[in-house]
């Protein structure tokens, strides 16, 4: 077993005042510090989408940080879904708006 638990994937939809406040940059830097792979993007409806893969325990820490968000943001809700890691990502990056 890897440190931090078995590999998993987290899909999170973040709602609140999360665009125009550096949320994607915050998520990218936090993920890279934790060694998580995947990406983050703004959605046209004002939400932010995060797809992340890594050890389940580390992803749990990441999720808690996503709920806090950056200074100046206001996270109202984080909808989470857990699946099996695909291993499809090489790093964590900011993706284009969808």
Is-above-0.75 flag for pTM?
A: yes
Query: What DSSP line would sit under 29-61, residue for residue?
Result: HHHHHHT-EEEEEE-TTS-EEEEEEEEHHHHHH
48-55 vs 74-83, strand pairing mode:
unpaired
Closest CA to 75 of 20, 15, 22, 1: 15
Q: For the chain, give every domain's residue range.
A: 21-77+87-93
Residue range 21-77+87-93 forms a domain whose CATH class is alpha beta
pLDDT of residue 35: 97
pLDDT of residue 1: 35
Q: What are residue 38's DSSP bridge partners?
A: 52, 92
The active-site residue out of 17, 41, 42, 45 is: 42
The active-site residue out of 15, 17, 24, 98 is: 24
Q: Which tens digit of pLDDT belongs to each residue from 44-89?
A: 999 999 999 999 999 999 999 999 999 999 999 999 999 999 999 9
């Amino acid at each position: 077993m890897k440190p931090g638990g078995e590999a998993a994937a987290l899909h999170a939809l973040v709602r609140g005042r999360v665009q125009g406040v550096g949320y994607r940059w915050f998520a990218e830097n936090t993920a890279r510090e934790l060694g998580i792979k995947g990406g983050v993007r703004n959605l046209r409806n004002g939400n932010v989408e995060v797809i992340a893969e890594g050890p389940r325990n580390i992803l749990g820490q990441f999720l808690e940080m996503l709920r806090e968000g950056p200074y100046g943001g206001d996270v109202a809700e984080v909808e989470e879904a857990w699946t099996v890691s695909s291993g499809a990502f090489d790093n964590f990056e900011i993706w284009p708006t969808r």
